[in-house]
Structure 1
Amino acid sequence: MSKAPIPTYDICSLSMGRPASDDILVARFSDYLAAHQDIHFPHRHSFYHLAFFTAGSGSHTIDFERFPVKAGQLYFMIPGQVHSWFFTGDIEGYVMNVSAGFFNAFLQDDAYVERFPFFSGVSREGVVQLPEEKMTPVVRLFEAMLAEMPGAEIYSLDMLRLLVLEMFIQVSRAGSQDEKKEVAPHNYVLLRNFRKLVEQHYMQLRLPKEYAALLYVTPNYLNAFCRHMLGKSAGEIIRDRVLLEAKRLLINADISIAAVAYQLNFADNSYFTKFFKKYEGITPEEFRKNIS
């Protein structure tokens, strides 16, 4: 188990050579692993991170949810998510690290990429399995990105932006039927705002009615909306965010259970333990033992 806080890497700390920009890195997965052999332990990024597997086996974990490695699989992560991996055999594919501001000079809407369902920050929504016939076009896009990475050609950064956005759109189109449904603009705005409010206030605000007031909707409407969009009530979404942060804190063995409860604004350690066990099925102490 980690004996220190989960490390957070910035995009420059994981650069390889002299890229065309400090805002983006695209590399072959095998080369990335060879250059960064020490980052398979749990860690976070301050940037968007994605990987595309074309061959290999093993597993990778995003926010404590484990996924088997499969050819044709992509995983997308937003800044702040925790992940680790355990690969077996040779891993082939591509990796991309891109800053939140990479598209700002190109798009009027600086939150445009958040529209893609795989950038929701929810682990399962960030893992996409491409059908075999859809792999080749995505491979071609990554190869084109690699060719632009040295920045030798004029407008290389703009071409990279175009290629990355095309890849996002192609992956969205190749997803499940539910993923292919574009969210209506007004629903997208409400969902994005709710999730951002939860991210900002989950330690203090735990009731759906508190978020409904901030969003100028009724609690009943917010719950019905969340069930329609995400299959969960607003209360479940808030609770899941609290549980996720509890797990992120518990992985640090130097922080006591009581200190975790305090940081998460629980009245006492006993209440936190009951809350955690009710929804996770195990106590915080048992969770720590399981991840050691």
Structure 2
Amino acid sequence: MYSIKPEFEIPRYPLEQMGRLANPMLQIVEGTGQMLEHKDDILTPHRKDYYFLVYIKTGRTRHWIDMTPYTIKPQTFYFTVPHQILLKEELAPLHGTLIAFTEEFLALDDNQLLKKLPLIQNPQNGHELILSARDVEFIEETLDKITREYHQPSDWGNEMVSSYLRVLLIYLSRLYTEQFTTEDRIIDRQLVKRFQNLVEARFTELHQVADYADLMHLSAGHLSETIKVQSGKTAIEHIHERLVLEAKRLLFHSDQSVKEITAQLGFEDASYFNRFFKRLTDQTPVGYRTTIREMYH
């Protein structure tokens, strides 16, 4: 698969890494089979500080999102959010359209609709959307309008790009809901979203439900009960799953020691972290690292 460099730390790339930008918050690129700039950077594990959406028209290659490998397929839509770990196994020509934008771009939306969309929230840690012939037709037509306005500036061009992109993200969020969400989960999730956003922002420092309940001005019991009803998981399960996911990312993609990962995730004691990880995964951290690297190398 790839070799991990000694003392490797997973880098985080800003949007500026993609090249000279006309708009520092939004970049749209039409892939015509050319090799990417900074190509060596994407052949090692990394994170992006921005949302990354790609419609693949033609081409095949393989890459990783966190611990899951994906084989790129034509006429398929792929997306990542800032916290995920990405890795390409090889470089191969691809044709399609790439859209990248920052949190600051989302903040420009007056009513904050875009930040609430399932595709942006990505509660299921999805990455791939399967498209029907009708979806392909709509997406290609919308992307053509977006790229034409983006690359040929004219009066109200930015507003046109934002409007078309808004339509595209809503359409893709409908597909996300259809493909990743079961009917019994399509309910009012406002509180669970607030909770998940807090966990995402503070999971390395706050490990207890009561900590998040205080931030949300709720009792720990009420928060736990509501989260369970709305999401099917208890509040502490959400916290623990996020900690385990980050631990797995670091064990798989970096060469940090268990002691270093323990500190990075906010655990004071490595032996406690070992017990915590084993209780939730049935493996020790070292055992998990050995098993998954043997499986995919």
Aligned equivalents of 1:37, 1:60: Cα separation in 2: 13
Percent of pairs with identical residues: 24
Q: TM-score, normalised by structure 1?
A: 0.83
1:69 has 2:76 as partner: no
After superposition, the C-alpha distances for 1:60-86 in whole angstroms (9 at most, x for unaligned) are 322223334333432322223211133
Matches within 5 A, 1:91-240: 91-105=94-108, 107-109=109-111, 111-122=112-123, 124-177=125-178, 178=181, 184=188, 187-188=189-190, 190-240=191-241
Q: 1:203 to 1:104 in 2, by over 3 A?
A: closer
**Aligned-residue offset at 1:165:** 0.7
**Aligned-residue offset at 1:242:** 1.0
After superposition, the C-alpha distances for 1:142-196 in whole angstroms (9 at most, x for unaligned) are 2222212224322222111111111001112234444899764xx42x2332122
Aligned equivalents of 2:182, 2:159: Cα separation in 1: 27
Q: 1:149 to 1:76 in 2, by over 3 A?
A: same
Aligned equivalents of 1:279, 1:176: Cα separation in 2: 28
Aligned partner of 1:252 in structure 2 is 254
Paired residue type of 2:241? D
Unpaired runs of at least 5, structure 1: none
Paired residue type of 1:156? G
After superposition, the C-alpha distances for 1:97-148 in whole angstroms (9 at most, x for unaligned) are 112222444x223x43221112225463343322332111111112222212
> How many residue pairs get matched?
284
**Aligned-residue offset at 1:19:** 4.7
Q: 1:118 to 1:272 in 2, by over 3 A?
A: same
Aligned partner of 1:81 in structure 2 is 84
Q: Is the 8 A contact 1:198 1:238 kept in 2?
A: yes
Aligned equivalents of 1:54, 1:281: Cα separation in 2: 41
Q: TM-score, normalised by structure 2?
A: 0.82
Aligned equivalents of 2:232, 2:63: Cα separation in 1: 25
Aligned partner of 2:17 in structure 1 is 13
Matches within 5 A, 1:51-66: 51-66=54-69
Aligned equivalents of 2:198, 2:270: Cα separation in 1: 26
**Aligned-residue offset at 1:228:** 4.2
Unpaired runs of at least 5, structure 2: none
Q: Is the 8 A contact 1:20 1:149 kept in 2?
A: no
**Aligned-residue offset at 1:51:** 1.6
Matches within 5 A, 1:27-38: 27-31=29-33, 33-38=35-40
Q: 1:275 to 1:40 in 2, by over 3 A?
A: same
Cα RMSD, aligned residues only: 2.9
Q: 1:249 to 1:207 in 2, by over 3 A?
A: same
